[in-house]
Structure 1
Amino acid sequence: MDYPKNVPGAGLVNGKFADENPIAGTPGSLIPASWGNSVTQEILNAITAAGLMPSENQNDQLSLAIKELAKLDPQQNFPVQVYRKNLLINGNFDIWQRGTSNLGPYTSAYIADRFRCDWNGNAGVNISRQNFALGQVEVPNEPRYFMRWQQVSAGVGGNVHKISQAIESVRTLAGKTATLTFWAKADTARQINVTVSQYFGAGGSGETVTPIGSFQLKTSWSRYSATVQVPSLAGKTLGSSGNDFLRLSFDLPLNVLQVIDIAQIQLEEGRVSTPFELRSLGDELMMCQRYYEKTYSQDQPPGSMTGAYGALLSTVKQGQTGFASQPLAQWTFKVEKRAIPSLSLFTTTSKGVAGQWRSGSDEVSSANARTLGVSTRGVWVDNSDIGLVTQTYYIHATADAEL
């Protein structure tokens, strides 16, 4: 709706209505019937859309209609575009619980939380966390980090050079349209291919792979986006092991020296690419910890020889003998795990035996540290050997429940 600017003789002044001025001898503006009817009809449309009956004697109906139309429908799901719209975890690459680089150029693994990097053909790849400069304007939202794939050995005959994330449950986005958005750059123009695959778990139907698109990366940061129709699950069989998932995969060029940087990855329901969802670091960490958790501080990778800070603790007191003189501690997970996790144990210092309890004096190691009663909520750690001398003992641990 607008002023009747196209109506001859309406007498608008600077595009708006004006009063008559007898002193200056200027007439007032006219209000054409078509314009007045249009304004009234727009108000009536809002009132009736809210389920109200228009009344000539009631002057608050438009405000009542606006309030009614603004209410959330309790029968509808909360709009996916508003909260937790990004189905990927750690798409901003803020969380790196396992360390900020891979263990070696020939070791495929999870590095940034929830993102797995895999390659073969004897290729050598360094995966690392890289910093965005403060105030940079190439990638929005002032992100802190991006992930770098630096191939230092091309390899021969490789058929897998992949960055991927498995999203829990193959039901995710099934039969729906989804939109992928990400930022990336490369050392030179390079093509990457992106797919989603539906894995039905052990004993289930065969994996279904659906292309999202091929993207030509540039040497400067650029935003890329595409939509995909995720197949329905009709006629498929779900496995019984609870490890089904929807996997997003970035397939990189094979058998070449290359540097590829990637940031702010978002996969959301719908046909429209919306702004990247920024979640708090606390929320993002908790979502990551459903799949992986450690006793170390967040800035310390597992295996760090940083002492007992954060480690599990047990005191063997004077007078304890035999089996009673063993360290015993319970590790209650901060976040319940997706499934029963696999456990790894680490010593707290460079002395002694790897993966064993170590005394606070750094002079005594246990011989047979072990985990007991592991569940999705926690685990006990003790030692099964001869009694240990009176000391306080420490041990670090990780719990891995990745898909």
Structure 2
Amino acid sequence: MTNNVLLNGNFDLWQRGTEFNDPPHFTPTADRFVFGQSSGAAKFKISRSADVPNLQSQSSIEFSVIASHSPLPGDEAHIRYSIEGREAVLAVAGKVVTFSFWAKSNLPGIYSITLVHPSASRTVEQTLALDYTILQSGAWEKKTITVDLSTVVGGWSYVTGTYGLKIRFAFYAGANYKVSPGSWVVGNYVASNNNVNLASAVGNYLRISQLKLEVGSDATPFMPVDITTELRRCQRYCFILGHPISIDSLGVTGYAGAAGETAYSTIPYPVSMARLPTISMAGAFATVNVVGTPTWTPGYSSALLKIAAAGAGRMAARSDKSVVIFDAEL
């Protein structure tokens, strides 16, 4: 068992890829961690790094600058983790909690985490900015931050399939997205007023490892989780079928009496998903007697794959050295 509320805090799981160059706003990266940049000319690369603080980890997450920029008032960039509504209520609502993690950067200074919390009615958002300081250039440093979540105003949202608490690590932010640290403020903010501009120079980087959120005022030692268990929990938000170079596949077959008749296949998910997933495919279907492209209809626990016959006779479609991504990230 783990007392870490956060999934993939050891950054072992990267189902969607291990490097993201200049990703657009709302790009899932490492499992459960989403890059956000609603505005700004700075460009970042998010990648899996083998640089780690100790033997408890094999990977960290790295944010590096590939195009520098001084933020305008409406600019911001961050990485976020969203705790699902009911999970947030059951795990942390009204409790004293402690964040612990290792951080490393070539740019010493004050950085910040922001917590964004919706009211029970989901009509108002509040933000709490929390500062931490990187003291040395190029050295791993352990950070701990304790927060009393009983200070939240407006109740907690039990809604599943959407967030109950967002946790953001800020890279840079303009005045419209900055707030004074230490107190809940109505609004959706990204960074504290003290946050450094990581994007001040190309090559600047920030690495995070062994991220943990636990109930209580003490930071207990980070303990890695069995990778199979962690993957199954993360598959509520993303899972992948197939393989780009192997014969792993999924498909559907049937017999048509005439052109236009259809055949279906139900593809079960390993776990029920947090919301209706988007389904994308890297690669193509190999087809026989099929008109057009096979289509998907997603559900919460399975998806329907449908093909239509080009003519009478056997029809079939099979994913051929392809990857199908079912994504329900928050």
* Shorter-normalised TM range: 0.7 to 0.9
- Residue 329 (str. 1) matches residue 239 (str. 2): no
Question: How far is the alpha carbon of 1:243 from its aligned partner?
Answer: 1.8
Amino acid in structure 2 at the alignment position of 1:313: G
Amino acid at match of 1:123: A
- CA pair 323-251 structure 1, distance change in 2 beyond 3 A: same
Q: Which has the higher strand share?
A: 2
Cα distance in 2 between the residues matched to 1:95 and 1:388 = 45
Partner of 1:107: 24
Is 1:94–1:144's contact at 8 Å kept on the other side of the alignment?
yes
Percent identical among aligned pairs is: 23
- The question of 1:278 aligning with 2:195 is answered no
Q: CA deviation at 1:262?
A: 1.1
Cα 1:391–1:322 change in 2 (3 A) is closer
Specify every segment of 5 or more residues in structure 1 that has no aligned partner in the other structure, as ranges.
1-82, 133-137, 298-303, 349-356
Indicate conservation of the 8 Å contact 2:294/2:317, yes or no. no
In 2: Cα distance, 1:328 partner to 1:128 partner: 38
- Partner residue of 2:126? 208
Work out whether 1:92 is the aligned partner of 2:10. yes
Kept in 2: contact 1:322–1:387 (CA 8 A): yes
Instruction: Summarize the Cα distance change of 1:387–1:234 in structure 2 as closer, same or farther, 3 Å threshold.
Output: farther
SS in 2 for 1:113: coil
| Residue number in structure 2 paired with 1:152 | 66
Asked if 2 retains the 8 angstrom alpha-carbon contact of 1:184 and 1:217, the reply is no
User: What 5-or-longer segments of structure 2 have no aligned partner?
Assistant: 172-195
Q: Show the counterpart of 1:256.
A: 200
2: distance between equivalents of 1:206 and 1:217?
36
Determine which structure has more spread, i.e. the larger CA radius of gyration: 1
1:288 aligns with 2:224: no
Name the SS of the counterpart of 1:286 in structure 2: helix
Counterpart residue identity of residue 204, structure 1? R
Report the alpha carbon displacement of residue 358 of structure 1 after superposing the two structures with TM: 2.1
- Change beyond 3 A, Cα 1:190–1:391: farther
- Cα distance 1:280–1:237, how it changes in 2: closer, same or farther (>3 A)? closer
**Residue identity matched to 1:321:** A
| Greater relative contact order (Cα < 8 A, sep 6+) | 2
Match of 2:299 among 368, 371, 375: 375
Equivalent residues of 1:323, 1:387 under 8 A apart? yes
How far apart are 1:142 and its partner, in Å? Answer: 3.6
Q: How does 1:121-132 map to 2 (within 5 A)?
A: 121-132=40-51
Q: SS where residue 234 of structure 2 aligns? A: helix
**In the alignment, structure 1 residue 313 sits paired with structure 2 residue 251:** yes
- State the AA in 2 paired with 1:311: S
1:48-87 matched pairs, under 5 angstroms: 83-87=1-5
Matched length: 292
Residues 327, 383 of structure 1: 8 Å contact kept: yes
Partner Cα separation in structure 2 for residue 148 and residue 237 of structure 1 = 32
CA distance in 1 between counterparts of 2:290 and 2:324 reads 16
- In the superposition, relative to structure 1, how do residues 388 and 275 fare at CA in structure 2: closer, same or farther (>3 Å)? farther
Work out whether residues 371 and 380 of structure 1, in 8 Å CA contact, stay in contact via their aligned partners in 2.
Answer: yes
Matched, 1:358 2:304: no
1:266 aligns with 2:212: yes
**AA aligned opposite 2:148:** Q
Runs of 4+ displaced beyond 3 Å: 231-242, 345-348, 384-392
Shift of 1:239: 8.0
Shift of 1:244: 3.5
Q: Matches of 1:221 and 1:98 in 2, distance apart?
A: 27
| Post-superposition offset of 1:231 | 3.6
The match for 1:179 among 85, 95, 98 is 98
Equivalent residue, structure 2, for 1:398: 325
Q: Which amino acid aligns with 2:218?
A: V
Structure 1 length normalisation: TM-score? 0.65
Aligned to 1:287, what secondary structure does the other structure show?
Answer: helix
Per-residue CA deviations over 1:175-196 (Å, capped at 9, x if unaligned) read 2111111111112314310122
Higher alpha-carbon deviation: 241-250 or 91-100: 241-250
RMSD: 2.7
User: Deviation digits for residues 28-67 of structure 1, max 9, x if unmatched?
Assistant: xxxxxxxxxxxxxxxxxxxxxxxxxxxxxxxxxxxxxxxx
User: Using the alignment, how far apart are the partners of 2:160 and 2:226 within structure 1?
Assistant: 32
Q: Distance in 2 between matches of 1:346 and 1:332?
A: 19
